[in-house]
Amino acid sequence: MNDLHVVGQPIPSVDGIEKVTGAAAYYSDHRPPGMLYGAILRSPFPHARIRGIDVSKAKKLRGVRAVVTGESYAGIPYGVFTNSRDQFLLARDKVRYIGEEVAAVAATSQDVAQEALALISVDYEDLPAVFDFKKAMEPGAPQLHEHAPNNIGAENNTSYGDVDACWRRADYRRTETFFCEAISHVQMEPYGVLASYSGGKLLIWAPTTSPFARRRALSNVLDLPAQKIRVHKVFSGGAFGGRSETFPADYCAARLSIACGRPVRITLSREESLMMSRQKHPMEVTMGLALTKDGAILAKTLDLLADGGAYMSTGPIAIGWPLAMVEIALRSKSLRWRGRRIYTNRPIRGAMKGHGGQQVHYAESCLLDLCAKDLGIDPLDIRLRNAMKTGEEALSGSRVVSSGLSEALEACAGAVNWKTPKPSANGKLRGRGIGGAGMINGFNMGFRSSSSAYLKFNEDASLTLFTGAVDNGQGNNTMVVQVAAEALGVPVSSIELISADSETTPQDPGAYSMSATFVSGNGVRAAALDAREQLLALAAERLEANVADIEGYNGELWVRGAPQRRVGIGALVRHAYAVGRPVLGRGSYTPKINFNRDWLTPGKQYGQATGTYSYGAVTAEVEVDPETGEVTVLKVAAAQDCGKAINPRAVDGQVHGSVLFGIGQVFHEGFTWDGGMALNPNLLEYHIPTIKETPEIVSLIVESNDPDGPYGAKEAAEAAGLAVISALVNAVYDATGVMFTRLPISPADVVKALEAKQRQRRG
């Protein structure tokens, strides 16, 4: 890797100038002639039957151009998986949560659209509702969907090894239950979409994790051929998993545009964005660990209950995907997993930051600290004792291709002087905590598992690169350009990028399952190497040498051992055009996963789950005020095994983001509920970390040089992001002696726990 020229360099973002100057085009910057404004009527009931909808008054309002309801069209349900399509994107017959979409209007102004909503009359029959996911499973509970007895929408039961035997022979066993509340993605850009239907073709502008997934879903629910739908690239004001799906707003805008033949834009309010564009699954995880007296893990047991809200969304992933992560960070001899996703009359839960991995890792890592204390083992040492190494095989048969987990644990421990005594805190309580985790890279997504790319040399020797890879702010645009520049030996500035457009770019998985660097980057590299081979052949002809003897960089090629015999790429490209051999490179990459097993289906979860794994570790230092319960995060060191840092600056930024995300989930974020109504759906009362809560952050890069990654690279922050939560909670445990098993942790929770601890000591 020492001969790399572009990869490994902290070059500025290739789209940075557009963003800081305001030239970057978001969906709301597109205002085609004749554009109308859309608005959505939402249910005030958590569970009700729709007996009728009267839109006649709304249609008569001056300025209204279209009104649509669920009854306006044939009922085609939406769902991420073909066997779990349970949601009509405009409600038919029933509503199942407060805020569900019932009707939509398009008008000449936003004010007229809102006025029209008030004129729509809906006859509801109020039905019993259930909000507690445990009560939802009880006999006699209100039933949300006929196909899901006891409201269990998805279930996953999997076991590896002889758990019972390992449990019996262990020297130590412990089981605890942990709970995480629902949280929102809180993207700074409220969700919105612009749809324009004309000449039989639908054009969509919307922030998305994959234009191809969005196109396919819209094709299904609108009953339009895929080639009649184009999802354009737009800049995204944040994602975190929350732009993964097709939303009712997309459907409503499309239906309205089809109905009136004019472009329609729908922009959700902050409240709508917080409540109706997916939330992180609230989860209760009952975790058991059985260990030897020296800290080796013999058995893991997990019983996971996920509150999925009213519809399935990505539910099977939430209770199946984390298993692929919990087995490959800390080894064990056996594992038993039970996951259930429960329907309730609350907003829909979907993908966010690890998609269940954070909740499960929180349970595992915090329970491990409890075990370590009882066994008298340092939390760092017990993790190093069990950390998976390169070449090991997980219980499922999935091989660890590259692992820097041990190095990451040691690096972040060193950054906080882990083995030294904690400094005095003048009446405050000081604590240190640690966590380590693994993350999948390039998960099996069926026909979208692979990524393709192509590029062309223009007559002036500049290049245009086409890739379906999406950049939601994590730096993927810069990453793919660096990979192409490295493979071709040309300056980054010579490459024009065309990306994430369903019509002009080739198929790509999208920004799911941490596949952008590992899968999309490899696809770009393959296309660039294909073009390079064509250039080498042209140079060999021009220089009258063997292809094997041609080398070069920085826009020139020469004969090895005779550098005076050289030719510029520009001259080769012009010659190629003249003789009808333009340099057009194409390539693709499919991760080495086992397509014959379905990781989400119980009983079939065996084989290579993902192309590779990345690893991360975090240490945190906190200070707790025992009088007020306030927790101050003093320092966080986060180490990420990214294989090879294609752009260290981007890796550093992503790690900082993961740290702040974790601080928010542990100490600030969470909804306050009154039945099915959230009482704090705004940024005044839904608290996220600000600069005032930002600690000193030490970002550390560990390079394990993955043999299959592009130039050794793999994902660059999600693994550390999984470890942040447990590191923070473990630090509070170290400071107070209290393990907090519910998130978020409020100052009142801390005071109450410390008072209970004091009473226990006295009594």
The per-residue pLDDT for range 423-470, each reduced to its tens digit, is 877 889 999 999 999 999 988 777 678 999 999 999 999 999 999 999
Say whether pLDDT at 603 is over 60: no
pLDDT of residue 305: 97
Tokens of 660: 């702040």
Distances (CA, A) of 86 to 82, 83, 245, 348: 10, 9, 14, 12
Each residue of 36-81: pLDDT tens digit? 999 999 999 999 999 999 999 999 999 999 999 998 887 899 988 8
pLDDT of residue 353: 85
pLDDT of residue 517: 95
Each residue of 140-155: pLDDT tens digit? 999 999 999 999 999 9
The percent of residues in the chain predicted with pLDDT above 70, rounded, is 98
H or E element, residue 556: strand 556-559
Confidence grade of residue 514 (pLDDT, cut at 50, 70, 90): confident
DSSP E strand boundaries for 217-375: 229-232, 264-267, 279-280, 283-291, 297-309, 334-343, 349-350
679-698: average pLDDT: 94
Say whether pLDDT at 2 is over 70: no
Confidence grade of residue 606 (pLDDT, cut at 50, 70, 90): confident
pLDDT of residue 600: 56
Domains of the chain: 16-23+450-589 (3.30.365.10), 31-127+188-238+243-275 (3.90.1170.50), 279-444+596-762 (3.30.365.10)
Sheet holding 556-559, edge to edge: 550-553, 556-559, 562-568
How would you label 458-468 residue by residue, b for 16+ Cβ within 10 Å and e otherwise?
eeebbbebbbb
Using an 8 Å Cβ cutoff, are 589 and 450 in contact?
A: yes
94-116: average pLDDT: 98
Each residue of 529-580: pLDDT tens digit? 999 999 999 999 999 999 999 999 888 999 999 999 999 999 999 999 999 9
pLDDT of residue 1: 47
Please state, in angstroms and rounded to a whole number, the distance separating the CA atoms of residues 485 and 569: 13
pLDDT of residue 178: 98
Query: Radius of gyration over alpha carbons of the chain, in Å?
Result: 27
pLDDT of residue 505: 96
Distances (CA, A) of 703 to 15, 254, 616, 640, 706: 26, 46, 11, 8, 8
696-725: average pLDDT: 96
pLDDT of residue 697: 97
Using an 8 Å Cβ cutoff, are 577 and 566 in contact?
A: no
Burial class, 712, CB count within 10 angstroms (exposed 0-12 / middle 13-18 / buried 19+): buried
Kindly state the DSSP code that residue 428 receives in the 8-state scheme.
S
Each residue of 222-265: pLDDT tens digit? 999 999 999 999 999 988 888 988 999 999 999 999 999 999 99
DSSP string, 464-498: EEEE----SSSSHHHHHHHHHHHHHT--GGGEEEE
Say whether pLDDT at 515 is over 70: yes
pLDDT of residue 444: 78
pLDDT of residue 138: 97
Each residue of 16-37: pLDDT tens digit? 999 999 999 999 999 999 999 9
Confidence grade of residue 601 (pLDDT, cut at 50, 70, 90): low
Tokens of 534: 């064509």
Please state, in angstroms and rounded to a whole number, the distance separating the CA atoms of residues 581 and 573: 9
Please state, in angstroms and rounded to a whole number, the distance separating the CA atoms of residues 67 and 102: 11
For the chain, the straight-line distance linking the first and the last C-alpha, in angstroms and rounded, comes to: 63
- What mean pLDDT value characterizes the chain? 94
